[in-house]
Structure 1
């Protein structure tokens, strides 16, 4: 592989993650000589992102070869890494995932990775993911898939069960955990070290230490949060007091997995802010490409995501430790099912992705997460078999669902809305 690796970026036209990936690629000195192939379905938008990539490449001196194509299979030939940041009609369908269950009395927080929304996100996304993966198995079987798309846990679980392609899911949630804990303790974030394990968006902070001294900071966190602003992460702090550990990466994400998660807020995702950001990004991009304005300074700096760090760890055999990665369990967390996607620290080198086990979760925390493990397993089976019967069963074992009548009604409505995307995706 040396320094001639080929990196294929699916979803390069993404307004949210596309820029982040380009910022990281062209801020790195470690990918010099690599080929970056941008893939997108909209040729016009793809052309604009490719032109931005070339400008960033020239401005930074990163030394990559930039390609673009709307033909995924053409891109996969000879690929060493495939980065996935795709979604199907993201905001329109996500709004339905959130609003339809509420109409039938389901109280939930985001409608993305847990509850009914998590199920339908899984049902429509996995067939697309398996299209990618079957092409990879044929055209670049040794490539590493780096997945940034949700629902992370269910995608990695499905691939662990039904594909031989190596993959890792990457998420920045762990940084939110560290930032929240540091804020409560009154410490700079960079002075705080965290070690966590669990499910994506539902990790347990196993170790909280001072980076310089190694001192255990949990006593300081537990003491400081008692009198801290009561409006800051109140749901997460309630569980901290009950279980003794900081869980998840924010009340909204954590609440997706629990029957009482709505107590942390039921406002859902801010779609209006998301649409404003997309419009602003599109306008700024047009101005940059026309030469009317300079490239914004933050576009020339790393985003904080870990995709490029992972690629470089493999490419240069760095034995690089990443704070977290979503991987197929196989006992990385011994008291969660082996057939499950878990989020744990990982070490990455030329031999691949190596989960770092922090040992068993605290028993009560493991029991809390085990309920969601069964939901995720059932949702994956419903998706890969395109089974409405299994989908209903997945809803009825989900702690967020509080009514059989509501489950049947929302299933009928959302199944119809997602019918164009639901299909069997295993031989």
Structure 2
């Protein structure tokens, strides 16, 4: 028999139960004027019924953010949009971040004033970067521009929305993510990149080619991921219990699997073309599979960008991204598969279709918000995920995502010859972070620059002139670095010319 005191106790417990979440979230998009990632996100959100809410778009170019807000609401009003989202362009960053449940970072400096130099100036010194976005002399200059900005963003997130989940898409991925954690160690940042999906898609293609089962979805390809962004490796890959390394070995014995390409063949190819020849060459030499596109791999393993260019790069089926492409990609009238003209969609001059982008930001938001579980690759500080890389360095491995929780999955060690390559890049990452924290120490940054494998092909004095010329060309974007105190720059003719 229940007495009065028990009824009182039950009533008290019922009154103290937390309310169920209404699945309504605030997403703050820093870089909300984005021409690629933002339109992808809006379409994915329009097809999502598991969460709903508001998206605050902040961008230093407020006009672009306003255009994207207009586009987001336009997408939301499409007949086949089933989501419930409201888009607003916000002029003040603190206001945009206030109360955010999720923060998406996707920013870029004007390529015509930065990226162009990252590509063209090293070429004058014989360094033929294919992308120049995340490593090499151009990638290091991009990191020098980015690290101070992302340290400031990390501090702002710590002040305005410390419990928010932060999804970083900005390159250079490793440096940007590491800078956020350096500024606010308790931050919940996931660095996200789709290059590992490329490896899963390639393996799914091989399954579809050699098994009478049809091509599986990439999510059916189970891989053990370990390394750093754009230089990630796979030492185990399975589909339905089948060892896919055996499938790769079989494929490589087939006629035409390994081949050379000519300059003429590559002339009209898109710069994002991927023929997997570098991937297969590295697999044959080291016994583990690189999990990034060839255009990125050649910069981290720069054997492929030595010799007569572009012939010896094109021979591997890789095409360089030119500075002309980068600058035109930034222009308002740019039309290519990486840049979306939202005005043309809204005025009806270009056909618009509401289809999923293939990116996982919305899947992460759904899982972290209201349930389920997913496994995917993320960039996080190393706390044992890769046992033989330095603790605290940002590494890319699989992680298990559950509501409000991310658990990195231990990936194990790397073969010594591969680890040798990775450690060089990791130490360069850490040295440059240290230089930024040390009041913008340019001379320490130059030590990181000297240790880059692409730069090690130069005499030290030549490397100094390359570094100084890049600094001089992009000086207005390096205001957080103490250029006046640099002995390296004071010695240089390029900086003072």
Task: Give 1:9-408 correspondences, 5 Å limit.
Answer: 9-32=29-52, 34-59=53-78, 60-164=81-185, 165-183=187-205, 186=209, 188=215, 190=217, 192-210=221-239, 213-226=240-253, 227=255, 228-231=257-260, 232-262=275-305, 265=313, 267-270=319-322, 272=324, 275=328, 279-280=334-335, 284-290=341-347, 292-293=348-349, 296-297=352-353, 300-322=354-376, 324-385=377-438, 386-401=440-455, 402-403=457-458, 404-408=460-464
Distance 2:259 2:204 in 1: 16
Q: Report the number of matched residues.
A: 418
What SS is found at the alignment partner of 1:265?
helix
1:410 to 466, 470, 487: 466
Say whether the 8 Å CA contact 2:32–2:64 is kept in structure 1: no
Deviation per residue, 1:293-320 (Å, 9 max, x gap): 57611xx111111111111111113232
Moved over 4 A (4+): 270-274, 281-284
For the structure 1 residues 333 and 52, does the alpha-carbon distance in structure 2 shift closer, same or farther, using more than 3 Å as the test? same
| SS of residue matched to 1:87 | coil
Counterparts of 2:194 and 2:385, CA distance in 1:
20
Q: How far off is 1:259 after superposition?
A: 3.8
SS at match of 2:134: coil
Distance in 2 separating the partners of 1:47 and 1:215: 50
SS at match of 2:40: helix
Cα separation, 2, equivalents of 1:239 and 1:131: 38
Using the TM superposition, give the Cα deviation of residue 150 of structure 1 relative to its aligned residue in structure 2, in angstroms: 0.2
Given the superposition, is the C-alpha separation of residues 30 and 242 from structure 1 closer, same or farther in structure 2, using an over 3 Å criterion? same
User: What is the RMSD computed on CA atoms of the aligned residues?
Assistant: 2.4
What is aligned with 2:3? none
Tell me the alpha carbon deviations over residues 364-401 of structure 1, each in whole angstroms, 9 at most, x when there is no partner.
32222112111111122233332210121011111111
Distance across 2 between alignment mates of 1:29 and 1:265: 46
* 3-state SS, counterpart of residue 243 of structure 2: coil
Report the CA distance between 1:256 and its aligned residue: 1.4
Q: How many Å apart are 1:142 and its aligned residue?
A: 1.2
Post-superposition offset of 1:6: 0.9
CA contact (8 A) 1:122 1:383 kept: no
Tell which deviates more after alignment, 178-187 or 157-166. 178-187
Deviates more, 1:143-152 or 1:313-322: 313-322
Change (3 A) 1:398 1:53: same
Contact 1:184/1:225, CA 8 A, preserved across alignment: no
Residue 273 of structure 1: how far off its partner (Å) = 5.1
Unmatched 5+ stretches in structure 1:
none
Residues in 2 aligned to 1:273 and 1:179: alpha-carbon distance in whole angstroms: 26
Tell me by how many angstroms 1:53 deviates: 0.5
CA contact (8 A) 2:46 2:75 kept: yes
Alpha-carbon separation, structure 1, partners of 2:192 and 2:382:
15
